[in-house]
A and B are shown apart, each in its own frame.
Chain A
Amino acid sequence: MSDNLVLEAKSVSKFFGTITALQNVDLHLNKGEVLGVVGDNGAGKSTLMKVLSGLYKPSEGSLFFDKEKVTLNSPRDSQNLGLEMVYQDLALAGNLPIGDNIFLGREPTRKVGPFNFLDHKKRKQLTEEHLAKLKINVKSADQKVEELSGGQRQAVAIARATAFNAKIVLMDEPTAALAVKEVGKVLDLILNLKKLGVSVIVISHRMDDIFTVCDRVMALFQGTNFAESELKNTSRDEVIGWIMGKKD
């Protein structure tokens, strides 16, 4: 396997009581690669993402970040290793401006005597730089998130995930709730991340998403690895077949 490996899961299993959500699943991700994960509802995609982000502990198997074996006790641990998750419900505070959301919980501050005050200027500047880097267009960094469209909110959520030099970003159905004309912008954003050297895992039901942004696609079926291929060596029909559990 290549030297660019940033994330690897080896024979990960996850049991919930008598239910087997994942069974000996393998996954690997290279630097700057976009990996699509497909599968029917209940195939184990979201469970796998939660294991990778540290929200769930795997029942069996191990995780490797930069080829080093790690044990994740919470999402905080994976964040410290450079992995960020973009939540499906976006996890943004609509009443706050874009910049406040991107830096929520990690606000830049400046010391005045014994007190730490918010550095509004620096936050605004960092926000504008970061949005420009990701080529996200909004009227102003001070716009409240509730005033944004669904696609812009998704972009802010992704900007939030990548504001602290994330190396790996996990996205769960990033285009599911979007108007058709906004899907393209979010996909462009994912391609931008790739250009910046960020590795991305995208869960999606939409073949258009997978075939626009991914380098490689893997299919889960009933909690197991079912099929995997470089994108150029497969077709939409074949991937749709995998989702339904059909292989030639």
Chain B
Amino acid sequence: MDHGEKRLMDKSQETLFVRLIPFFERYGILLLILIMIAVLHLLQPDVFLSWRNVTNIFKQVSWQSMLALGVFMVIVTAGIDLSVGSIIMLSLMGLAIASKAGMPWYVVMLVAPAIGFLCGMFNGIGITLLRMPHPFIMTLGTLYIFRGIGNLISGGVPITGFAEQIRVIGNGKIKLDVFFGEGAREYIPTSLILMIVIFFIFWVFLNHTRIGKWIYAIGGNPGAARAAGINVDRILIVVYTLCGFLAGIGGLILAGRTNSAYPNAGLQSELDAIAAVIIGGASFFGGRGTVLGVFAGVMIMGILRNGLNLMNVSVFWQQVLIGSIIILAVYIDVLRRQLATRT
């Protein structure tokens, strides 16, 4: 074989391999979910795919998915938001206090997203206008500040009992009598519908609007975005504000689900959110990732936890497993980047 021919062959093999990468990047994660479902179904044939268990998974992930979606947008800009777990707690506390003060339910309902919105805007302004050297520092600070304020306004004790209209968001059931006959026990959780609607809205926002495109551009090369006349600071404030707003929605869902506001609400959930985003294929270096990937990442975390619980695997082993999956997912990202820059 002469030299030229050999080189040609290497090239074609490489392009085939490189061609497969975007395919796996896009669909590999869904494949992983299907495998997980299949394995868990084989291990727990009576329980895992039961209506009760599946809806339970969705109810569990619905509030977590709001955090993950917000953190995802932040990570696309090559930033980070560590404060979302505290935002969810503060917005939950605010909602509880408004509820206890006897405000009408439609005001109470707006309190949580509004607090989230303001907290996120505070992060965004700190990162841009105050020129904090990295979002990590600003949001690490507000991680403490927001939870501290939440405890200050509540006195550090749980507040329970919300109006039915609030509870329905996190705990409501849409009966499926039409399909399963009168009095059937099958239902769809309201929070699942809300989750799907919000994910769809943000999918449109990120893929079909100019601001969405600019969010990706900022993550890819902020200098290029600036040279293109994009006001990078303004877009970053929008992104952190939306992230906080979504955490506020998460607080609203959690209020309905637990019927109480408690000091430890959302504790460490910012880390779960980051984990879901990374497992979902977003690059921590910014500019890369999809809304569908985030959904998949959230589902993987949810299914894994649920499955391990069903199998009576200890929480300690669950931590080890989730940690391993994060490292594996990031390592795949590293390999992918190496391949992409080599060609």
Does B28 count as interface, using CB distance less than 8 angstroms? no
Question: Do B221 and A91 touch (CB < 8 A)?
Answer: yes
Number of A-B contacts (CB under 8 A): 70
CB-based contact B341/A96 at 8 Å: no
Check A116–B221 contact: CB distance below 8 A: no
- The answer to whether B332 has its CB under 8 Å from any CB of chain A is no
Q: Across the interface, do B223 and A96 meet the contact criterion of CB distance under 8 Å?
A: no
Q: Which residues of B contact A117 (CB under 8 A)?
A: 204, 208-209
Q: A104-B230, A116-B210 known; A89 and B219 CB under 8 Å?
A: no
Residue from the list A87, A116, A146 in contact with B209, Cβ < 8 A: A116
Please, which residues of chain A bring their CB within 8 A of the CB of B230?
Answer: 104-105
Q: Note all chain A residues with C-beta closer than 8 A to B213.
A: 96, 100, 104, 107, 118
Task: Let me know if A95 and B227 touch, CB within 8 A.
Answer: no
For residue B75, give the distance in angstroms from its CB to the closest CB of chain A. Answer: 13
User: Residue B225 at the A interface, CB < 8 A?
Assistant: yes
Residue of B nearest to A105 (CB): B228
Q: Which 7 A-B pairs have the closest CB atoms?
A: A93-B220, A105-B228, A95-B287, A95-B220, A91-B227, A104-B228, A93-B221
Within 8 Å of chain A (Cβ to Cβ): is B288?
Answer: yes
B183 at interface (Cβ–Cβ under 8 A)? no
Chain A, interface residues (CB within 8 Å), range: 20 to 34
Residues of B within 8 A of A (CB): 204, 207-210, 212-214, 216-217, 219-221, 223-225, 227-230, 286-288, 340-341, 343
Inter-chain CA distance A118–B224, complex, in Å, is 19
Interfacial chain B residues near A104, Cβ < 8 Å:
213-214, 217, 224-225, 228, 230
Provide the residues of chain A in CB contact with B220, threshold 8 Å. Answer: 93-96
Which of B214, B217, B220 gathers the greatest number of chain A CB atoms within 10 Å?
A: B220
Whether A146 and B341, one on each chain, are in contact in the complex, defined by CB atoms closer than 8 angstroms, is: yes
Contact between A109 and B210 (Cβ–Cβ < 8 Å)? yes
- Could you tell me the distance in whole angstroms from the C-beta of B211 to the nearest C-beta in chain A? 10
Q: How far is the CA of A147 from the CA of B342 in the complex (A)?
A: 9
Question: Would you call A92 an interface residue if the criterion is a C-beta within 8 Å of the partner chain's C-beta atoms?
Answer: yes
Q: How far is the CB of B200 from chain A (nearest CB, A)?
A: 14
**A contact patch SS:** loop
The answer to whether A95 touches B210, judged by C-beta atoms less than 8 angstroms apart, is no
A118 cross-chain contacts in B, Cβ below 8 A = 207-210, 212-213
Q: How far is the CB of A87 from chain B (nearest CB, A)?
A: 6
**Bound Cα distance A91, B220 (Å):** 10
The distance in angstroms between the C-alpha atoms of A147 and B220, with both chains bound, is 13
Check: A76 CB closer than 8 A to any chain B CB: yes
Tell me the residues in window 98-121 of chain A with beta carbons closer than 8 Å to chain B beta carbons. 100-101, 104-107, 109, 115-118, 120
Assembly CA distance A120 to B208 (angstroms)? 8
Report Cα–Cα, A117/B203, bound state, in Å: 12
Measured CB to CB, the nearest residue on chain B to A94 is B220
In the docked arrangement, what's the CA distance between A92 and B209, Å?
19
Question: Is there an interface contact between B223 and A89, defined as CB atoms closer than 8 Å?
Answer: yes
A245 smallest CB distance to B (angstroms) = 34
| 20 more CB-based (< 8 A) A-B contacts, given A93-B287, A105-B229 | A89-B223, A91-B221, A91-B224, A91-B227, A91-B228, A92-B224, A93-B216, A95-B216, A96-B213, A96-B217, A104-B214, A104-B228, A105-B214, A105-B225, A106-B229, A109-B210, A117-B204, A117-B208, A118-B207, A118-B209
State A146–B224 Cα separation when bound (angstroms). Answer: 13
Bound-state CA distance A94–B343 (Å) is: 14
> In the assembled complex, which residues on chain A have CB atoms less than 8 Å from the CB atom of B212?
118
Known: A118-B210, A147-B343. A93 touches B217 (CB 8 A): yes
Interchain CB contact under 8 A, B221 and A92? yes
> Which partner residue on chain B sits nearest A89 by CB separation?
B223
User: Complex Cα distance A117/B219, Å?
Assistant: 21
A143 and B221 CA atoms in complex are apart in Å by 17
Partner of A147, one of B223, B228, B340: B340
In the assembled complex, the CB of B22 is this many whole angstroms from the nearest CB of chain A, namely 9
CA distance in complex: A104, B225 (Å): 7
B341 nearest CB neighbor, chain A only:
A146
**Across the interface, which residues of B come within 8 angstroms of A91, CB to CB?**
221, 223-224, 227-228
Measured CA separation A105–B217 after assembly (Å): 10
- Can you identify 19 A-B contacts, CB atoms within 8 angstroms? A76-B229, A87-B227, A90-B224, A91-B227, A93-B217, A93-B221, A93-B224, A95-B286, A95-B287, A100-B217, A104-B214, A104-B230, A105-B229, A106-B229, A107-B213, A117-B208, A117-B209, A118-B207, A118-B213
With a CB–CB cut-off of 8 A, which chain A residues contact B287?
A: 93-96
CB-contacts of A129-147 with B (<8 A): 146-147
A76 and B213 CA atoms in complex are apart in Å by 21
Residue interface mask A70-101, B partner, CB < 8 A = 1: 00000010000000000101111111100011
Closest Cβ of chain A to B280, distance in Å, is: 16
Inter-chain CA distance A92–B220, complex, in Å, is: 8
